[in-house]
Structure 1
Amino acid sequence: MPLARSTGSRPSARRDGLLAFVALGGALAVLLLLADVALPVLMASGLLGLAVLGAVVRSTVRRRGEPYGPADRVTVGRSVLVALVAALLPVGLAPLLAQDAARPVDAWCWAVFAVGLPAWLLDGIDGWVARRTGSATRAGARFDQEVDAVLLLLLSVAVASRIGLPEAWWVVVIGALRYLFLLGLRVRPPWRRELPPSSYRRVVAGIQGGVLLGALVPLIPVALAVTATVVALALLLVSFGRDVRWLERNARGLS
């Protein structure tokens, strides 16, 4: 029966995916008109944004076993904003890579902040919708986590560029830790077990996006942005360290 529900919900996923591409296309058209950068940079922006959204939509359309529900629809809508953040990255990074500037301009930082803030705030809405409608699924939770991870990686790259690349490469560790952990699962198969609930993990994960968004605001001094980001990274490393320690202890049968 769940499989039938999943199959029946596939047209809704396709429809929402098409609407998401239309919305992103409109946003990219505005970016094309407003951004004063070379055409290759704009092409890279468009391709990156479409690639991020394409991966999101593909995961919903190809889902098996669990239905596509109202909460997933919210996450797909949020992914349009995440894809737009991705599209903005080449616009800000191009002058840095060409060594035409030491840091991105304030207008770009404000743009990433303006798009990233609602994408981060909407993170709690999809979970609320899932609980409210009784449509929570494990696939939907994983879907939400992956969209969160992509947003965090993009914001960490943006903050690193504002603080100053290449010296601020360490900021990207905030966004890369999730993917490093997934790589660790391939090296250590015993880690592939469900972690126990942790308030510390939830709180630390929740503040990462807020700290990175705050560090992007041009009104915040760079020194303060660096301090806040260092603290956020330290908390995140402790969180991952706790989880890895628990997984290792269980893998060795110590607890």
Structure 2
Amino acid sequence: MSDIDPALPPFARALLPDLHRSFLRAAAGGVVLVLAAGIALVGGHPALWFALAGYGVGVALSLVLMRRGYPHGRLGLCNRVTLARLALTAALLAPLAGDVAVAWAVPVVALLALSLDGLDGWLARREGLSSGFGARFDMEVDSALALILALNAMAAGSAGAIVLLIGVPRYAFAAAGLAAPWLDGPLPERFSRKAVCVAQIATLIALQLPPVTPEFGNPLVAVVALMLAWSFGKDILWLRRARA
């Protein structure tokens, strides 16, 4: 049974397959979550529009990925959970644009986004909807969350520019892949990679806590940066050997 969205305008129903309409319907529901989390973060500040714009860009890019190849005929709960994580991540853009945030709200929203990580993958396996798209969608939301939290930590003064070392590694790796396409090859599942990713996000959430100062935050960032360098280095060596 396909997910059909009667609420979309006729031209969208005519141009998009049922699955993509279902994705947009779920994404439209995510707008409510962006607004709810955004209001918790900055109240009624106009910076909410920045969060909504970021969410819109994320949804558009995700739809492009889905159209490139999604092997299933239904969206499932798994992809809806990842969309919810995207909505929470986008809401965290509001404090950056408004330079204001309710105390403790940033770590709470970020912790909620982290708590949903892994649930989407578990649901995908349970629903029989595992796919390369789902794995990529999940990874890109994780990467965006890391970058946005790193920028929030800098803005809050809990860490210096060094925090970007644990906010941009995924994007640096992707940029390297443009010069060396073999870096864009498929990687095997590895528990250590997931553990380091969780440590990365957990550290970035800890840096959002009001008492944290650079004297504590910067050394913590350095440790996690070394963990990320080890994890990415391991993947690069594996890809190099696979290429050979």
Same fold (TM over 0.5): yes
Q: Please list every run of 5 or more consecutive structure 1 residues that lacks an aligned counterpart in the other structure.
A: 1-5, 36-41, 94-106
Q: Which piece of structure 1 moves more, 147-156 or 60-69? A: 60-69
Output the CA distance in 2 between the equivalents of 1:137 and 1:195.
Answer: 14
Could you say if the C-alpha distance between residues 33 and 219 of structure 1 is closer, same or farther in structure 2, counting changes exceeding 3 Å?
closer
Matched, 1:110 2:104: yes
Aligned to 2:3: none
User: What is the SS of the residue equivalent to 1:216?
Assistant: coil
State the AA in 2 paired with 1:141: A
User: What is the SS of the residue equivalent to 2:211?
Assistant: coil
Please give the residue correspondences for 1:80-229 in structure 2 after superposition, counting only pairs within 5 Å. Answer: 80-92=87-99, 108=102, 110-163=104-157, 168-229=160-221
Aligned to 2:83: 76
TM-superposed deviation, 1:175? 1.5
Aligned to 1:11: 21
Q: Which piece of structure 1 moves more, 193-202 or 25-34? A: 25-34
Matched-pair contact (CA < 8 Å) for 1:190–1:247: yes
User: What is the SS of the residue equivalent to 2:186?
Assistant: coil
TM-score w.r.t. length of structure 2? 0.81
TM-superposed deviation, 1:56? 2.7
Q: Please list every run of 5 or more consecutive structure 2 residues that lacks an aligned counterpart in the other structure.
A: 1-15
Matched-pair contact (CA < 8 Å) for 2:174–2:184: no
Aligned partner (choices 213, 235, 243) of residue 243 of structure 1: 235
TM-superposed deviation, 1:218? 1.9
Aligned to 1:21: 31
Aligned to 1:57: 59
Output the CA distance in 1 between the equivalents of 2:175 and 2:35.
Answer: 33
Output the CA distance in 1 between the equivalents of 2:157 and 2:110.
Answer: 18
Identity of aligned residues (%): 32
How many residues align structurally? 224
Could you say if the C-alpha distance between residues 27 and 194 of structure 1 is closer, same or farther in structure 2, counting changes exceeding 3 Å?
closer
Could you say if the C-alpha distance between residues 195 and 29 of structure 1 is closer, same or farther in structure 2, counting changes exceeding 3 Å?
closer
Could you say if the C-alpha distance between residues 155 and 26 of structure 1 is closer, same or farther in structure 2, counting changes exceeding 3 Å?
closer
Output the CA distance in 2 between the equivalents of 1:31 and 1:177.
Answer: 26
1:229-252 superposed Cα distances (whole Å, 9 cap, x missing partner) = 21111111121122223323443x
Could you say if the C-alpha distance between residues 70 and 108 of structure 1 is closer, same or farther in structure 2, counting changes exceeding 3 Å?
same
1:114-165 superposed Cα distances (whole Å, 9 cap, x missing partner) = 1111011111111111122111111011111101110010111122233467
TM-score w.r.t. length of structure 1? 0.78
Output the CA distance in 1 between the equivalents of 2:205 and 2:180.
Answer: 33
* CA RMSD, 1 decimal: 2.5
Output the CA distance in 1 between the equivalents of 2:162 and 2:117.
Answer: 25
Output the CA distance in 2 between the equivalents of 1:247 and 1:56.
Answer: 28
